[in-house]
Structure formats: C-alpha cells, structure tokens
C-alpha cells in the first residue's frame, strides 16, 4: 500500500519528468550492463558473461550470473531514478528570481 506524503510529482511536473526519466532509465541500464560485465570478469576470470541458452556454461553458473545481473541492475536503476528525481525536484522547487516590473512607456 502506498502512502501519499505530498511529495509525489503531480500534473505538469509529472509530464515534464517523463522524457527525463526515460533518459535516466537508458543511462542507468547502460551503466548497469557495464558494471555487471566488470564484476563478472573479476569473479569468474572469463571475458564474456554466460548466455542463458549456451551449452558452454552450467545451469548453476547461468543462474548465478542472472541473479547477480538482476541485483546490480536493480541497485543502479533505483539509485539513478532516485538521484534523478532529487535533481528534478531541486530544479522545480528552486526559488525563482522575482519578475522585474516592466517599464511603462
């Protein structure tokens, strides 16, 4: 059950965040893939990650890789989403400079 604490984006702000959120999601996915590749190389001493349908790897190895990949992806995606939203909130909540009155002619 979600509890509304009044900090959710609403209306126009939610609509404005959509393209930014898509960009953050894309960057987060790419970053997660790179991090998983680096981590897998270090723990397995292999250049490539195991593919689910490949006969070159044991079922145990494939499942371990999938679990690790999911954990890394979830962690990075959540971090990117959270910090992206915080940045957008900071921008949206920033005080605007007062409008200067127009000089009448």
DSSP calls for 67-101: HHHHHHHHHHHHHHHHHHHHHHHHHHHSPPPPPPP
In this predicted model, what pLDDT tens digit does every residue of 32-55 receive, in sequence order? 999 999 999 999 888 888 888 888
User: Is 88:17 a contact under the CB 8 Å cutoff?
Assistant: yes
For residue 54, the model assigns a pLDDT of 85
* pLDDT band at residue 1 using 50, 70 and 90 as cut-offs: very low
| Angle made by CA atoms 15, 25, 86, in degrees to the nearest 5 | 65
Alpha carbon distances (Å) from 18 to 21, 24, 25, 77: 5, 10, 10, 15
Residue 11 has pLDDT above 60, yes or no: yes
Domains in the chain: boundaries? 31-92
pTM here is 0.70
pLDDT of residue 94: 64
- For the chain, the average pLDDT equals 82
Q: Is 105 helix (H, G, I), strand (E, B) or coil?
A: coil
């Amino acid at each position: 059950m979600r509890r509304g604490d009044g900090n959710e984006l609403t209306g126009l702000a939610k609509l404005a965040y959509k393209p930014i959120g898509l960009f953050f999601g894309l960057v987060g996915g790419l970053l997660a893939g790179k991090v998983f590749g680096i981590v897998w190389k270090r723990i397995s001493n292999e250049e490539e990650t195991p593919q689910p349908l490949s006969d070159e790897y044991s079922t145990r190895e494939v499942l371990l890789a999938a679990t690790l990949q999911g954990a890394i992806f979830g962690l990075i995606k959540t971090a990117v989403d959270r910090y992206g939203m915080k940045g957008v909130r900071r921008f949206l909540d920033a005080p605007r400079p007062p409008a200067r009155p127009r000089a009448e002619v």
